[in-house]
Chain A
Amino acid sequence: MLRASAGGFGFLGLAGLLAEESGLLASPSGNPLAERPPHFKPRARRVIFLFMHGGPSGIDILDPKERLTRDHGKPLPIERPLAFDDENPAGPLMQSPWEFRPGGRSGLPISDLFPHVRDCADDLCVIRSMVGEGVDHGAAMLQTFTGTSTFVRPSMGSWVVYGLGTENQNLPGFIMIKPALSHGGAKNWGSAFLPGAYQGTAVGHGGLYVKDVRKEPIRYLLNERYSPELARYELDMLQNINRRHRQMRRHDPELEARIQAFELAFRMQAAAPEVFEVEKESEPTRRLYGLDDPLTADFGWQCLLARRMAERGVRYIQCTHTYMPGGVGWDQHGELYAKHTDNARQVDRPIAGLLKDLKGRGLLEDTLVIWAGEFGRTPVSQNGDGRDHNPYGYSIWMAGGGVKGGIAYGATDEFGYHAVEDRMHIHDFHATMLHLLGIDHEKLTYTYGGRNFRLTDVAGVVAHKILA
């Protein structure tokens, strides 16, 4: 077992392990990130996750509720489940301040918060019946990203790369663009007990401006001191020392593995910076993502970068709209109208731009785009004009990557409080995502501490109805 292998492991040890652990074929090269065939034919080859930190309100965006309009101001007639913020007690039912209108040929209703995304309605598979267990942000985010709200477990991006490897060996396989450091922080993209090779690589963090992220997008990636020739000259000296050292120490594959790791690193530092050259995109493309408007430039940059990474074979990419400089996050316990409006303005155009661009390039077919927060918000008001957290029934959407477009799946009760039809627990969501990637979530396992673990714990049902 991994932790018991004498003196750790190099690539070779790990590859054998992967084969045994996951039932997936190990690559002959023994590189832990080498591409591995899925369990069955995949619908999606990669994931772009657009994470809306704070909890956007599904009933104001994707899940219209007539009853709220009709009974606006009346008390909630059903028992209220555990809430997050009891110091600011719940008010009565509150109607959505936004109009819903049909989008695309499918007529899928989307509110005026997202007019640009509404133009892409025919590509969206809206899931109105998400269910989680975390009532606070930390628990809900951990569960969204790792399947559990209380333990430290590998994140879903780590599981995906562990299962499939990655297509481009010169880039990390799992990248988090400007992730939030609060509410779980790096645990949300950590590999926990999976080998470190599978942890997410952060590009900056949520507290930074894009201009600062661009200076050093990935730590240690750039060598600005030497010319490539001089860097190679230095590396040759190092490898010389290493090979002489190894010759005197036979039968130790780790030493050779470390020599190879330097060669791989050298290739990465040469190839990777190109992916960040967003300014090389054409003017119309940059406009499409809203890079021309200070309001949308941050998330636009994230989305455009995500597309460039997707094109270059990064397996799992996440963009995060968070409590960034000048932003307030989606956590509207008050001032829902004002702040959801601000938030949506910042992401609507970039997201629509991403969908259209992916589609135009034929990438949407095998790229699964997911838009989600850590939970939704309550149908009852709080502080007069806000909404509390609601993990009991909330909405997200998926697009591309083998899901049906222009449909709404599942339903909440008439208030939008509890999911009642085709409930999709976070475990089911994970199972479905893995299924689209060609992975049987019950077979993607890893033994640790005497137990076999998987992303979906003991649960998870694939939502076959949404598969195209």
Chain B
Amino acid sequence: MARIAVYFACIAKIPGPKQTVQMNRSNLIHPSRVTSLLLLPALALCGFSAPARSQAPEAEELFEKKIRPLFVRHCMACHNSELATAGLDLSTAEGFRRGMGGNPLISVESVSQSRLLKAVRYQDAVKMPPAGQLDPAEIADLETWIGLGAPWPKAMAETGEAPEVSTGLWSLEPVADPGPPPVARQDWARTPIDRFVLAKLEEQNLEPAPPADKLTLLRRATFDLTGLPPSVQDIERFLNDTSPDAFDKVIGRLLDSPRYGEHWGRHWLDVARYADSTGNDEDHKYPHAWRYRDYVIDVFNRDLPYNEFILEQIAGDLLPRTGHLEIDRRRIIATGFLALGPKAIAQQDKIRMVYDVYDEQLDVVSRSVLGLSITCARCHDHKFDPILTRDYYSLISVFASTRSFVDPTSHVSEMFMKPLVLPEEHQVYLDHKKKIDDRKQAQGKLVEKEKERFAEAESRRLADYMLAAHRIYAQGADPAELSRTLELKESILERWAGYLKPGQGFRPHLLAWRRSGEDQRPSVARDYQDKFRAQFHEWNGELEAWRQRVEKSGPDEAKEDRPRFIPGRDRFFHEVYLQGNPRDESYQTPFILKPGDTELFSEEHRETIVRLQEEIEQLEKEAPAEPDMANAVEDGKVVEQKVFVRGDPANRGEDAPKTSPRVFDTRCRPMEASQGSGRLQLARWLIQPEHPLTARVMVNRVWHWHFGQGLVRTPDNFGAKGEPPTHPRLLDFLARKFTENGWSVKSLHRLIMRSRAYQMASARSELTARTDPRNLWLSHFPRRRLKVEEIRDGMLALDDSLDLKMGGTLQSGTGYQPENSSERLSIDPETQRLRTIYLPLRRANLPPLLALFDFGDATTSSGERLQTNVAPQALFMLNSQFVETRSRVLAELLLNDPNSDDRERLNLAHLRTLSRYPRGEELDQALDYIRGFQERSPGHESRLQGWQSYCKALLSSNAFMYVD
């Protein structure tokens, strides 16, 4: 298998040295020529793919792996090109050679006498680094490196050489217009695709497999287009249809089914790394993500041309308004593509955070549409593909001018959401909300005044409250009676008892109270009262001073400098009077007043507070529903981006004007001069028919999803590190057809599925197993395991339990409310009956079922899924409630038909699960098995259980799990 072990560091987090190495483009290694290089041990994990010009690879490897990182970590904070402390700059080869004020750092003749070594060994007056001696291993590395002559490979930018833009990269060549090649077996080829495939097979001396039988083909096509098994009616209709275009009709029927968009939309959602939460750190909800998901499903069902689809996802909000609300809404929702990526919104280095977001947005665009990972150029010119760091920042400039946050600088950055109604309608909602907020504020002020008054009065008896409370929680006294005899307020006394009673964690501020014996208790209570009142007056003094300041200076400054009570200043006071009860929300701490505490308010304010409360409740009742919103983007302030040298925002380099990567300039029209963010121009640049990548990448994806493998085996990587196409002319033929047919994905399906290549059997011959084990030349149709959605939805569908409701969300809440652990889970797919695509996905806690069957991580754009076979998957089949229920429902369905006999039941069981009739010996064996089961497990349900067990075996079998 062609693989090259190449390592490079994307130093996104630590501003480090350029990781670029001298690279002669002609040395770029083509994957197919690489195998022999694997024998070189130095390449196992080395700094570069291509042998560099002058120095031995081992020495350079040492430098890149050990020495340069060592300089960065330990030295360059001071010894860099800007500070050059003590005249030393260790960031470049020149600086290193210059040494300290012209005195060289090393002596190649006498390595151990090198000044550098003496300093790091602390043998010299100068001891470096000052923060602590280097590790012995690091010092040894330095010594070795100096012994090798201290080679310092030059980075591209240091040499001033730009990489040549002519790369020999096949995917950047213009899309050819090839006619189908001549073939020997004219009779086999039905469509042009077949001639391309057959020509390769003939070249390789391989035979195409025979055609698949009718039922195999039906099952293949139905799973392929809808992710579901064919129904019994579908099977019968197809078997009975002997017309020559019977299969064409099947294709048409499946493409017209709404189930098609649900299945193919899911393919795209993998590419769009779709999920319903931010993932990375706090995993906040994207409350409106589902609208983007529904949009994608709709796009596939309506066969929206792929070029428009890309345009809408990147710049839908910038297209001229049509006046059709649905279309204009849809185009805002489409930009969820950019908005819904993983984000670390609690990250405190906010510059880094926003640039990580821009990077992620560029990544999803470049991988999904272009099949290139442009973001490797964040810190250094791309190692393998002809993308310069300047190109990267030119594109980043587009996303830096795009708004994804309301306010990125808030502690947890608030994400941008866009209303999907007309501005006037949104204003009505905002105005109404303001009416409520105003009243709440007015009410809050009054309640605060009341609280002050109340606490002033009641805290004079604080000690009495505490002592009485003790009698309640420790001795079981009756609060009603106690409050009567002591003339305390009963409700407040109960709060005191609840607050003071032990068993609520360790509260050091109550230790004195807790430890006081019967005799000291009154005086200790008195101490608490005195301290409370002192604190109370001090705090009120601070507040009052502030209020007077506000009166003088106006309300603008009010919010800013309102004094905050630092809780640790007095925990007791803070809990009793300010914070409430953090440990238990079932009751308040003693001196907290809420609008509902009417009986505690003074005559003066009671009526107003109550009236405001009524108004608030009334207004809340009348409040218009929150308008539909979308997690979307819009244009922000236009940023004139500079290159960040080595990815470091503090290190600004040259200008990076908004434009497309230079390497494309000779191949298609460059991006037009940008307006605003430039997203619209970027999108238009991507969808021009002359673009060498956009159509190729998509037709390869479609081929991959049909065949389980693309013509390019790395559907997400069309760069030098990807594999070249096995059938380059077929790829170009399809790309041409695709754009000629108006970028219609459904036309592409028809083109592919009508071919003989698609309709071959999956049988692998002895010869191909030996000579073409990867089935590169398509001598047979590749068998594939069902994806997790197909497993789950398929099992639900085949016993008629699948809920076909489309759209909407099962997730509620805005995502900013605190959540407890179980709310952070995704909804368990095993308890739901909707199609899997409609279940919300929390990135940090994907449902275990999805992870178990290789769903991927919903975080990185990916057009292909792994297929693994491991024991935990088998345990799911054997023991999960889900498979148990499915098999039981199926068995009941079979047994509930009084008009059928057991053989008919078995026919139906096989048709529903495996889409074929059982063979003779299978029938007998199954009947034996069910009888045997009943004998082994007698009881009133034993017949049902026997049937259930057989159904479970069918559902667990390879025959169900694989599509031929």
Contact = CB atoms under 8 A, between A and B. Distances in A.
A-B complex is real: yes
B507 interface: yes
Nearest to A384: B568
B508 interface: yes
A149 B347 CA distance: 10
A138 B1 CA distance: 38
A465 to B, nearest CB: 9
A122 interface: no
A251 interface: yes
A2 to B, nearest CB: 7
Of the candidates B6, B508, B716, B876, the one having the most CB atoms from chain A within 10 angstroms of its own CB is B508
A136 B348 contact: yes
Interface stretch (B298-306, B394-402, B602-610, B956-964): B956-964
B334 interface: no
A213 interface: no
A9 B868 CA distance: 6
Interface of B is mostly: loop
Interface in B1-25: 1-3, 5-9, 11-13
A459 to B, nearest CB: 6
B878 A86 contact: no
A399 B368 CA distance: 47
B742 interface: no
Given A183-B282, A196-B870, A251-B766, A1 B1 contact: yes
A135 B346 CA distance: 9
Interface in B686-719: 708-709, 713-714, 716-717, 719
A269 interface: yes
B874 A265 contact: yes
Contact of A458 (B65, B138, B880): B65
Interface residues of A, number: 126
B344 A139 contact: yes
Contact of B373 (A32, A142, A207, A449): A449
B878 A138 contact: no
A269 B879 contact: yes
B283 interface: yes
A189 B266 CA distance: 26
A32 B871 CA distance: 11
A27 interface: no
A443 B958 contact: no
B210 to A, nearest CB: 14
B769 interface: yes
A181 B869 contact: no
Given A133-B13, A254-B785, A458-B69, A186 B845 contact: yes
Interface string B920-964: 001001000100110011000000000001101110111101101
Contacts of B810: none
Contacts of B65: 442, 458
A195 interface: yes
A450 B851 contact: no
Contacts of A257: 869
B135 A461 contact: yes
Contacts of A386: 568
Contacts of A342: 505-506
Interface stretch (A34-42, A77-85, A302-310, A361-369): A77-85
Contact of B132 (A148, A225, A421): A421
Interface string A1-42: 111111111110010000010010000000010000000000
Of the candidates B567, B825, B868, B925, the one having the most CB atoms from chain A within 10 angstroms of its own CB is B868
A275 interface: no
Contacts of A261: 869-871, 873-874
A185 interface: yes
Contact of B568 (A85, A187, A383): A383
Contacts of A464: 135-137
Interface string B200-239: 0000000000000000000000000000000000000000
B590 interface: no
Contacts of A205: 821-822
Interface stretch (B182-190, B244-252, B545-553, B857-865): B857-865
A269 B821 CA distance: 28
A385 B879 contact: no
Nearest to A244: B922
Given A20-B3, A139-B344, A265-B874, 12 more contacts: A32-B870, A135-B347, A136-B346, A150-B280, A185-B283, A187-B843, A196-B852, A230-B937, A234-B953, A238-B952, A337-B508, A451-B6
User: Which 4 A-B pairs have CB atoms at the shortest separation, nearest pair first?
Assistant: A384-B568, A138-B281, A8-B867, A207-B821
10 contacts: A2-B866, A139-B347, A185-B844, A207-B820, A219-B848, A220-B876, A222-B879, A259-B958, A381-B568, A450-B6
